Chain A
């Protein structure tokens, strides 16, 4: 086999289109780097968006309400139809309704040393939407105790603004969780019903005073008077808060959410643009590179037309010749694609090191998608080469 290949190499010279070959190699290399980078960039972005342990996990939950304007004052509730419509959107994973209290309530200190009193209102959400997990998060009518979750931001405001200006002590989350206070709920006659309350957790996800759903249902039933039963706010779990469809949907329906949580939308548009431009340029170049490569194969075969014809006359099989020609052309493709993949690997490692310095963690190794893309393109080029070789051997015979 080796001896035959040496002789065939003497007969079928591949030097005829050296310039074309060099052009095809350069084109293919750039195309591969562009395409693989685009795929890798997309995987990195997906990883950042969906990766576990990501500091941006709060971005996956969004509290949504109507934008308050002069026209919809007192009419900001969300109807069942509106909620169902949101539920039906492709970007929605799950919807939880925030139920608000329909009774008056206040809390006050049960200690004379640290007096306070304030009117408040509560909300409740299904437990699966909470970012606090504690055993104390349940309520029983007989216990006379209400667990409460408050926004972490409230304590920050107290510690870093209020306490400083009032000469009050700063409180850690642990200390606050130890303070019992009195919760008063007023019935329709204004009579207060008291029970004990305590903060059991801090939420960074929902900026509201939360009580267990079971307590809310009971208290609304028992004491609820005022207001509409329909909810004004809902919480949405979404795979991708950066989805531009989500942003445009909210805009169209006059809904609002925490702007910060949708900031990914802008990032995503930029990433999408870079991925699209790089991918499209890469594909176009790949197309041209393949075209040049095909021309190179065609030129080589037709410049050895007589030799190939005589080889077939003497009994060489078309398969033998195709195999030989594949061996002449295909290895360069394998080398180009391997080198391109290696360059993207190096780039990815370098990028992960660079981003780690800015607390953004991406995988230092390239994704499976990128490797698969390289393999698929390699197979595609291989098959194309093979078909071309077969075709031109046949034409030239």
Chain B
């Protein structure tokens, strides 16, 4: 099915995400007392690295993902996408990054409850120049076993189904980095494996990097780096 995909990627460029002594303000006191592979350190992630971040409860996992995606800016230090400090991005520039370079699967999924599963995915496909054909949505839904709920409002789908919808939604847009926050938390092992295979294929096709957080160790992906939050 790779033939259905368009090949936009310029092979020679690698997008970087760099962190310089980042510490979230609300968790500052607590975080500075414990050792961390990420907080208050200098790190550079370069595509196509696949990075696993193991994060025990209370270490600020979701805060980290949201800061990385620039949903929140209440941290000290600096996060850069390529050489741009993300705190200085305008709303329009931010939109371009999110449409073209960075895709995300939220822990809390964030689907539009009134739209059908299919519409939720379709929206992200056509928000920019479509990356893949719309038939690809059905194909991926079939692989993940949710093709029968595509026409249901998202609110009526089970959490596990919604999680798979959110994964497919993240894969129908162009990206260089795929950021995922516990993407398989509500999937059984078999389904998690299928989803991981789908994600692997999509990232390989784009030569994209992965940043994934989870509570535990796992072997869903062939990680190039493992960090502890």
Contacts and interface: CB of A to CB of B under 8 A. Distances in A.
Interface of A: 3-4, 7, 10-11, 307, 310, 312-320, 394, 397
Contacts of A315: 95, 97-99, 124, 127-128, 173
B112 A318 contact: no
Contact of B119 (A7, A316, A320): A7
A307 B114 CA distance: 10
Given A10-B115, A319-B92, A314 B127 contact: yes
Given A7-B115, A7-B122, A10-B115, A318 B95 contact: yes
B123 interface: yes
A310 B91 contact: no
B114 A10 contact: yes
Contacts of A320: 95, 127
B1 interface: no
Contacts of A397: 91
Query: Chain B's interface: helix, strand, loop or mixed, by majority?
Result: helix
Contacts of A317: 91-92, 95-96, 99
Give the interface centre of A10, A313, A319 by most chain B CB atoms within 10 Å: A313
Contacts of B173: 315
B92 A316 contact: no
A394 B95 CA distance: 14
Contacts of B114: 10-11
B110 interface: yes
Contact of A11 (B99, B112, B126): B112
A397 B98 CA distance: 16
Interface in B94-134: 95-99, 110, 112, 114-115, 119, 122-124, 126-128
B71 interface: yes
Interface string B122-149: 1110111000000000000000000000
Given A10-B114, A11-B112, A313-B110, 4 more contacts: A310-B110, A315-B124, A316-B95, A318-B95
Contacts of A4: 123, 126-127
Contacts of A10: 114-115, 119
A314 B124 contact: yes
Nearest to A316: B127
Contacts of A313: 71, 98, 110
B21 to A, nearest CB: 26
B136 to A, nearest CB: 15
Interface string B52-72: 000000000000000000010
21 contacts: A4-B123, A4-B126, A7-B119, A7-B122, A7-B123, A7-B126, A10-B115, A11-B114, A307-B112, A310-B110, A313-B98, A313-B110, A314-B98, A315-B95, A315-B98, A315-B124, A316-B95, A316-B127, A317-B91, A318-B91, A318-B92
B33 to A, nearest CB: 32
**Most chain A beta-carbon contacts within 10 A, residue among B92, B95, B173:** B95
A4 B125 CA distance: 9
A312 B122 contact: no
Contacts of B122: 3, 7
Contacts of B91: 312, 317-318, 394, 397
